[in-house]
Structure 1
């Protein structure tokens, strides 16, 4: 199905298998008195088959997730390998959902345990199977979106933000399953300190992750309010995140400039809240950003009003020149110098070019006003008269 495994995939599978064995030993140690060992010994083969099934599904999950990262990182897209991996993800997710379904799991229990009453060890297996679809959902979504980007040669600026939100959601679902297990153990077996401490630590880590995600979203929103910096104003001409030419970007408090999309990806993708170059913590004070935004808006208003004033002055000057040409032509006609208005070609050309220039300036004047209104630089009641 996966072909020959890569060396790093083998190492990852071996490490996670060892960790899974330690988790099973951990459960057996702390739930030793709660397990029905006579029943387990009578149905030892059935339990071994169920354990092997769980381990096999987990190993296929781990290999699929690892292989997805390798296929995305490759420069050339192999259509058959990607199609095979997508189908593997879909089949695994379908199996996980079917097994997690209470009705399907009860049928599996009836098959393995021949209709015997539900045992505590069966519930532990049930919670382990419930975690499988949660663990594979996020890597599958990441793989599909990244593959779509590569095939369509497109890029989603908010991709990493969505991934961070989905990761928080996945962690919350895992915590909910653990809380359900703790509640079941509390109702059936009594209070277990080690399980309570583990649940409390995971809940505390979840709150920290949620707070970090909130800070990331706050920084990403505030990045839009930072003043744009042109290449001429900046010290560096290359964005250190994407290593592409830096035409314009956003300047941090430390003075370094990056592309807006690159900065959002850097902050939301890897929980990096520091400058990639100087490693200084990114601090964006909302009040200062708002003040800077107001000052920038006022400066743009002043520049726009000055440009409109100059255009209006040029229009008035051209209108005066055309009026002078009309007066001069009328004087010439009165003195009998010429019977045809603008008889000389140069005079007709000057008059026509003057009218054309006036029209061009008037159009430019209106375009600047419309552009200022669209960008929010000026408002309707602030239009120059």
Structure 2
């Protein structure tokens, strides 16, 4: 029994997945590639005809990119990652506009997709054998039980020759096994051949990767500058409306007390008491402001201890799981802390959850953070607010954030930050908490 399970796990099941993948690739290639190539070619030829091609070619390109995107998903299903190579659309690049046409034509990925359509149709059609050969062999293998349950005089057609009797059915069995096993083995190579050929066209080139990277860095730098400017304005506003106003009131109380020092000692006593109270409030506000810039608990106890402290302040049960063998760099640690703080704030204010959880880990040079709750769901980063700020804060460090929040919950915010951890021996404070 264990041998059958091992065979299913290591041979039959992967072969069946490859056969299904080959069938999907073949159907997609045969049904769309030639039609999309003809549509793109006709739209290009129609450019001189009253400008019809200017509007039609971007539409054809959008369909080609949709088809290429489906192939990338199928490749990802087969364990081959292909990044999207297209340059971002400029503002106002609507269908039917000159800006849209110019963006499509100037993108090298457009012509790589078109040059891949016809050769991809050929390699995709070959992938059909990854499904047909095992199916053909399976018919021969299952033909023997069919004959055994009927009569020896059964007359039918097997996968290799007409079956007139049991002997001929038994002769089909070894050939069926051969085609089944050989088809499963060959199917992997056929699908690999198609994916290897597609890797020459569908992923971004080195130049395109650099261009996309430059664009991403430009966007994140602008967002970071805006976020820093907003943070500076917030600090300035808090200082002006809070601590500065209280210090001014403190100075006025002390000045008035100096004037009344010889005439009304009781009034001086009251003024000094008010000054002492005002100074305490100003000190508390300054501490709160400093805590918002870089919390002392983060410096003293590290990210793990600081996150646990955040969890204790939330008015619902929060399970915290930490697997950090060291400490990230201080800027990354601060970004992660405030991202978790914002996530927990959203849980408290908007989720209606009964419990939440936080997971911290580090693997393959990336700090992973998960904040989840069992609330009503429906969180949308595109709506702005705290989730948008979290994404911008992480993007400044080349981090990513994925929000999964279907209606009815649960909401799961998955974040990643590329970083290396320092040794716990170098950072003694990381071991506390």
**Which structure shows the higher strand fraction?**
2
Larger RCO, structures 1/2 (Cα 8 Å, 6+ apart): 2
Structure with the higher helix share, 1 or 2: 1
Larger radius of gyration: 1
The answer to whether the superposition gives a TM-score over 0.5 is: no
State TM-score, norm by structure 2.
0.25
